[in-house]
Structure 1
Amino acid sequence: MKRFISIMLTIQLCIVSFTANSESINYYVIAKQAMPFQITTSDNQHSGIVSDIIAAIFIDNYTINYHTYPFNRMISKLKSGGEKNWVTYGSPNWGSVQAANLSDHPIYTVSHSILSNINSNFVYQDLNDISDKVFVLLHGFDYPTLQPYIDNGEIQELRVKDYSAAFRILDKMPQDAVFVEMTSRIKYNIKIQSRDLKQFKLQDFSALIPSYPIYLAFDPNMDSALQQFINQQLAVLADKGTLTDIINQYI
């Protein structure tokens, strides 16, 4: 009886695998702002935590169609339906299309930090410490827990297009500006831009932006067999330690 059940489960997995592999996957990538989760090069090569996970899931007999856009345009594309069976990454905290249909298990837990210039005397303890600071934030991204303070004028925001611009502002306005972003993305971008973390102060900001999990985000109308296959493969990667290995390459 056990042997019969094992055989049937194997056949079922093969059927799901065959169905999945017969489909093309449309993978949506944020241009320039999502490192180390999604990294693109000038010759259109893809890497990063999420991109490597997608590649590992579809390691055999698959077709991945990459669609790379600035963040706002990508969201607009997905809200209008996107390409069939699309996948990207998302979180319940982000809402909208990046939260509508998520993988069974998270792929990473993100935390946020507040970055200031090493020459600044800024120390974050509570909201009173940031009332006179200019908050540098990435253009296009939402920060729901900060928005009420921005709306009522307690926080002055300054939007920038990328990390280089954010670091330059901290250099030019060391006493007045702070940069709020995911800790992993801050550290990665400091590293690839040949900056030294010792040039900055990195302080935990979880009191205002609590840590939360991120997941793979799916087309709400994704083929059910394909979604089952992705979730199964994701579970296998987690059990084998492959997810941890991928993350450790970048963080």
Structure 2
Amino acid sequence: MKRFISIMLTLQLCIVSFTSNAEPINYYVIANQAMPFQITTENNKHSGIVSDIISRIFIENYTVNYHTYPFNRMISQLEAGGEKNWITYGSPDWGGVQAANLSDMPIYTVSHSILTNAKSDFLYRDIKDIDDKVFVLLYGFDYPTLQPLIDNGQIKELRVKDYGAAFRILDKMPDDAVFIEMTSRIKYNLKIQSRELQNYNLQDFSTLIPSYPIYLALDPNMDSDIQRFINEQLSILSDSGTLTAIINRYI
């Protein structure tokens, strides 16, 4: 019995030691533009697909520090090195710091759509259909397959700071403006702004922006034990169905 108690005390001390010595995780969040992947409320509560995954991965033994910035400032922070053991989300398609070191498995596959006002009879079939349209795009986000068309003047872009501004432009310019964004983010932001999808037309845009996976993006210099732990936990969340349940909560 004494030997059993001794073993249990040793294990408890090891757990306490691991918890107290574990490196903090620095989680970077995009302010206002990344819903439903990252959602921040006015009282600084965090939710969303990526944020919920992070919470489940680090539910024990790790302290997670949250850093919320506008997109461009966040990228600047990470390009400068960021806080030690930082984590956010990214994709090989995005390049740069959000593609430098990714989790072993993706967390979601994104697709893009064209959103137009229902008053418009616009139908997208191929590139010729968009020659006379104003493309509404969010500030800060790059669209590599669209950029050559923007550079040669075939696409006229209009950048806006948030989804509300994009929807208002579609309402004011129903025959002239189209909004290009991730399908999941369009649907989510229409819902939270109490806008009915039936008042808009949503059309697949995968011919110009093919669907692609997104991953957890990790500090290239992240501690190898932490990185291994993240990948192991992500695999467990996937196998248990928890990952799908988190996604279905928002989409």
TM range (shorter): over 0.9
What's the CA shift for 1:21? 7.2
Deviations 1:146-200 (CA, angstroms, capped at 9, x unpaired): 0000000000000000000000000000000000000000000000000000010
- 1:41 maps to amino acid: T
Moved segments of 4+, more than 3 Å = 18-21
* Structure-2 separation of matches of 1:193 and 1:167: 10
Q: Deviations over 1:123-165 (max 9, x none)?
A: 0000000000000000000000000000000000000000000
Corresponding position: 1:214 with 2:214? yes
Are 2:110 and 1:110 aligned?
Answer: yes
Partner SS, residue 220 of structure 2: coil
Distance in 2 (alpha carbons) for counterparts of 1:96 and 1:221 = 15
Task: Provide the residue aligned with 1:49 in structure 2.
Answer: 49
In structure 2, the residue matched to 1:36 is 36
Q: Could you tell me how far 1:114 is from its partner in structure 2?
A: 0.3
Tell me the CA shift for residue 20 of structure 1: 10
Distance 2:37 2:86 in 1: 17
Q: Which amino acid aligns with 2:235?
A: A
Normalised by the size of structure 2, how large is the TM-score? 0.92
Q: CA deviation at 1:121?
A: 1.0
Residue identity in the other structure for 2:250? Y
**Structure 1 residue 86: deviation in Å?**
0.1
User: Aligned to 2:35, what secondary structure does the other structure show?
Assistant: coil
Rg larger for: 2
| Map of 1:89 onto structure 2 | 89
> C-alpha root-mean-square deviation of aligned residues, in Å?
1.7
Shift of 1:65: 0.2
Is it true that 1:149 corresponds to 2:149 in the alignment? Answer: yes
Q: What is the deviation of 1:23? A: 1.2
Deviation, structure 1 residue 48: 0.1
Alpha-carbon separation, structure 2, partners of 1:188 and 1:21: 39
Ranges in structure 1 where 5+ consecutive residues have no aligned partner: 1-10
Please state how far the C-alpha of 1:19 moved relative to its aligned partner.
Answer: 8.0
User: Is the contact made by 1:19 and 1:226 (CA closer than 8 Å) also made in structure 2?
Assistant: no
The alignment partner of 2:171 has SS state of helix
SS in 2 for 1:53: helix
1:167/1:178 CA distance change after superposition, 3 Å: same
Q: Which amino acid aligns with 2:155?
A: I
Partner residue, 2:193? 193
1:138 corresponds to which residue? 138
Distance 2:94 2:61 in 1: 32
TM-score normalised over the length of structure 1? 0.92
Measure, in 1, the Cα distance between the counterparts of 2:19 and 2:142: 36
Take 2:131 and 2:228, find their aligned partners in 1: how far apart are those partners? 47
Distance of 1:196 and 1:37 partners within structure 2: 21
8 A Cα contact 2:19 2:61, kept in partner: no
What amino acid maps onto 1:122 in structure 2? F
Query: Does residue 247 in structure 1 map to residue 235 in structure 2?
Result: no
Asked whether the 8 Å contact 1:20–1:225 carries over to 2, the reply is no
CA distance in 1, matches of 2:158, 2:182: 17
Percent of aligned positions that are identical: 78
User: Where does residue 8 of structure 2 map in the other structure?
Assistant: none
Give the total of aligned pairs.
238
| 8 Å CA contact retained: 2:31, 2:68 | yes
**Do the aligned partners of residues 115 and 211 (structure 1) sit closer, same or farther apart at CA in structure 2, a change above 3 Å counting?**
same
Question: CA–CA distance in 2 between the matches of 1:109 and 1:154?
Answer: 28
SS of the equivalent of 1:181 reads: strand
Matched, 1:233 2:240: no
Match of 2:148, SS? helix
Aligned residue number for residue 7 of structure 2: none
